[in-house]
């Protein structure tokens, strides 16, 4: 059974069942008035979907008004109500004026669900919506490639049936419930991305999503400050396997550290893929004039993004789509509509330069993979890497930066530009291995270097952790536009 529009009465009941509901107010005569369950029977309006930012509210979405680091969403209650939306708000963080909501102006069909804890209430509604929905859920996690794998898989599934999938970076304790609240009657599939920075995070998110199919793209050196070690990362990613049903499917990377641990941990059938071992064999190559091809079990697949690592992501996505019941023909048709996510391997053009925008995040493994993709693209030279620091690497951060910088030099890049203090250690490692790094203090300086030191035909990579925000370099390069696909 799949859900209808989430009525105010149903939502209030779901919250009251676990003692989260404090009070309900609904619009009457243009103002909020206290309401009971019986008053909600005919309350105009329900909601489908949710938003954490009042500025992005669309249709009949619920506005989840939570206190945040930058702004308190409850300050924007009036704006959501004026547009006819239902609002969920919590009493935490010292907010105790729920009584004063009575009398607030409100448009017809709107109302407020006041919870003892806003995040708990939001999560409860998401879990209930998931429980009422009967489609197939695919969960995706991994140190690297999970967003691209998710996007590939969603595109494939969307070639046959409507699919709900994680948007942007909504892969955490707020993002997963947000996606689950988007589940609607017409969706046949859901692809839920799950991120983690410590042991226990994936298990919590997987418990909410309850996937039937689980994909672990890989395990690598990321968030080591919280995970403690690569073994901690492997264990944390493996939490996804603990919630898969016996009738489900685990899609595992035979080339990744931790594969044997994950294989033993799975309590359902496993399908593995690898460049050497695995149930499914894959390889990747660049084809001049055509693009990039991933060969999967002897069949060639055009790959929308550059880099060998994206061949692995495509393979994992295809195996998940097959497990969900798609034929290869249906998956191919869906892949034709692939759009990708911002700053994750997309190709841009600026005045004849090809920019590889992969600056959403970085760790040693993804930095080297992106640099290898740069080298493949720059057929007439080594390519230029504009790099920032890699965050959350723990006590070994400086060593890992320098080692990664040295390995970048070994790839034979044409140039490396280190941006800010975060990129400096990468540059020092690059220099120590015989390279000659250039150093820029900030985004504007890096953009100036590109303007003055590059020429049409050059291929330039942007890569760094989220905290480095290297996409701001693009703000200083007017006229950046999507580039054609293919080498």
CATH (domain of 266): 3.40.1190.10
How high is the pLDDT of residue 379? 78
How far, in Å, CA of 137 to CA of 437, rounded? Answer: 46
> Of 68, 90, 125, which marks where a domain is finished?
125
In the chain, how many H helices and how many E strands?
15, 24
* Same domain, residue pair 81 and 144: no
Global model pTM greater than 0.85: yes
Indicate which CATH number applies to the domain containing 81.
3.40.1390.10
Same domain, 318 and 422: no
Residue 341 lies in a domain: no
CB 153 within 8 A of CB 100: no
Whether residues 229 and 203 fall in one domain = yes
The answer to whether 87 and 65 are in contact (CB under 8 A) is yes
Is the domain of 141 the same as that of 82?
no
Domain end: 270, 304, 335, which one? 335
Q: Are residues 179 and 309 in the same domain?
A: yes
Query: Residue 487 domain-assigned?
Result: no
The number of C-alpha atoms within 13 Å of 93 and in the hemisphere containing its C-beta is: 13
- On whether residue 68 sits in a domain, the answer given is yes
Task: Count up the domains in the chain and report the number.
Answer: 3
* Residue ranges in the chain modelled with pLDDT below 70: 1-5, 41-45, 93-100, 289-290, 485-487
- Could you tell me if residue 1 is inside a domain? no
In a domain, 243, yes or no: yes
Question: What is the three-state SS of 10-69?
Answer: HHHHHHHCCCCEEEEEEEECCEEEEECHHHHCCCCCEECCEECCHHHCCCCCEEEECECC
Would you state the pLDDT for residue 289?
A: 65
Residue 354 maps to which CATH number? 3.90.190.20
Residue carrying structure tokens 């590109």: 450
94 by Cβ neighbours in 10 Å (0-12 / 13-18 / 19+) ranks as exposed
Flag whether 340 is in a domain. Answer: no
39 with 79, same domain: the answer is yes
> Could you give the 3-state DSSP secondary structure of residue 262?
helix
pLDDT of residue 3: 46
Contacts of residue 101, Cβ cutoff 8 Å, sequence gap at least 6: 25, 32, 77, 112, 114
Q: What is the pLDDT of residue 452?
A: 97
Stated length of the chain: 487
- Domain assignment present for residue 137? The answer is yes
Instruction: Give the model confidence (pLDDT) of 437-486 as tens digits.
Output: 999 999 999 999 999 999 999 999 999 999 999 999 999 999 999 987 55
Q: Which residues pair with 294 in a beta bridge?
A: 284, 301
Is residue 286 assigned to a domain? yes
Same domain, 147 and 278: yes
Per-residue pLDDT, 5: 66
Q: What is the domain extent for residue 86? A: 6-125
Which of residues 304, 335, 366 is at a domain's end? Answer: 335
Q: Which of 204, 184, 205 is nearest to 194 (CA)?
A: 205
* Strands of the 299-303 sheet, one edge to the other: 163-165, 189-193, 136-141, 213-216, 249-253, 270-274, 280-287, 291-296, 299-303
Same domain for 392 and 325: no
Query: Are both 180 and 210 inside the same structural domain?
Result: yes
Shared domain for 252 and 184, answered yes or no, is yes
Q: What is the pLDDT of residues 73-117, one digit of tens each?
A: 778 889 999 999 999 998 875 555 556 688 889 999 899 999 999
Claim to verify: residue 237 and residue 355 sit in the same structural domain: no
CA gap 339, 146 in Å, rounded: 15
Beta bridge partners of 438: 417
What is the per-residue pLDDT for 43? 59
Structural tokens at position 443: 């985004």
| Helix 118-131 × helix 201-209 angle, to 10° | 50
Let me know whether 27 and 86 are in one domain.
yes
């Amino acid at each position: 059974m799949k859900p209808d529009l989430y009525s105010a009465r149903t939502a209030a009941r779901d919250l009251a069942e676990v003692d989260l509901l404090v009070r309900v107010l609904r619009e009457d005569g243009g103002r909020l008035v206290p309401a009971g369950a019986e008053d909600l029977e005919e309350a105009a309006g329900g909601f489908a979907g949710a938003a954490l930012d009042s500025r992005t509210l669309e249709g009949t979405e619920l506005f989840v008004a939570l206190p945040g680091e930058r702004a308190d969403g409850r300050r924007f209650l009036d704006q959501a109500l004026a547009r006819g939306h239902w609002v969920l708000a919590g009493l935490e963080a010292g907010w105790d004026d729920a009584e004063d909501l009575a009398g607030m102006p409100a448009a017809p069909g709107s109302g407020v669900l006041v919870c003892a804890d806003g995040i708990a209430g939001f999560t409860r509604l998401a879990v209930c919506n998931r429980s009422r929905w009967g489609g197939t859920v695919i969960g995706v996690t991994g140190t690297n490639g999970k967003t691209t794998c998710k996007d590939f898989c969603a595109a494939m599934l969307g070639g046959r049936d409507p699919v709900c999938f994680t948007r942007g970076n909504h892969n955490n304790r707020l993002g997963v419930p947000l996606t689950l609240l988007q589940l609607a009657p017409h969706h046949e599939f859901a692809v839920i991305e799950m991120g983690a920075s410590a042991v226990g995070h994936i298990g919590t998110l997987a418990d909410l999503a309850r996937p039937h199919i689980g994909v672990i793209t890989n395990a690598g050196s990321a968030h080591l400050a919280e995970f403690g070690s690569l073994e901690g990362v492997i264990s944390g990613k493996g939490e996804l396997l603990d919630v898969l049903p016996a009738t489900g499917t685990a899609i595992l990377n035979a080339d990744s550290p931790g594969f044997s641990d994950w294989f033993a941990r799975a309590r359902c059938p496993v399908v593995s893929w690898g460049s050497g071992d695995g149930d499914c064999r894959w390889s990747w190559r660049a084809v001049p004039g055509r693009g990039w091809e991933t060969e999967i079990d002897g069949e060639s697949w055009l790959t929308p993004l550059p880099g060998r690592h994206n061949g692995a992501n495509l393979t994992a996505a295809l195996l998940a789509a097959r497990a969900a019941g798609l034929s290869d023909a249906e998956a191919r048709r869906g892949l034709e509509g692939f759009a990708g996510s911002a700053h994750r391997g997309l190709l841009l053009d600026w005045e004849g330069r090809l920019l590889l925008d992969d600056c959403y995040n970085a760790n040693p493994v993804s930095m080297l993979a992106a640099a290898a993709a740069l080298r493949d693209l720059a057929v007439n030279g080594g390519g230029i890497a504009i790099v920032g620091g890699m965050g959350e690497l723990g006590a070994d951060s400086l060593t890992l930066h320098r080692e990664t910088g040295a390995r970048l030099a070994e790839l034979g890049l044409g140039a490396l530009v280190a941006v800010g203090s975060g990129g400096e250690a990468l540059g020092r490692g690059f220099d120590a291995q015989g390279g000659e790094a250039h150093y820029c203090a900030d985004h504007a300086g890096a953009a100036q270097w590109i303007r003055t030191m590059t020429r049409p035909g050059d291929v330039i990579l942007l890569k760094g952790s989220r905290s480095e925000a290297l996409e701001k370099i693009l703000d200083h390069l007017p006229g950046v536009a999507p580039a054609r696909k293919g080498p």
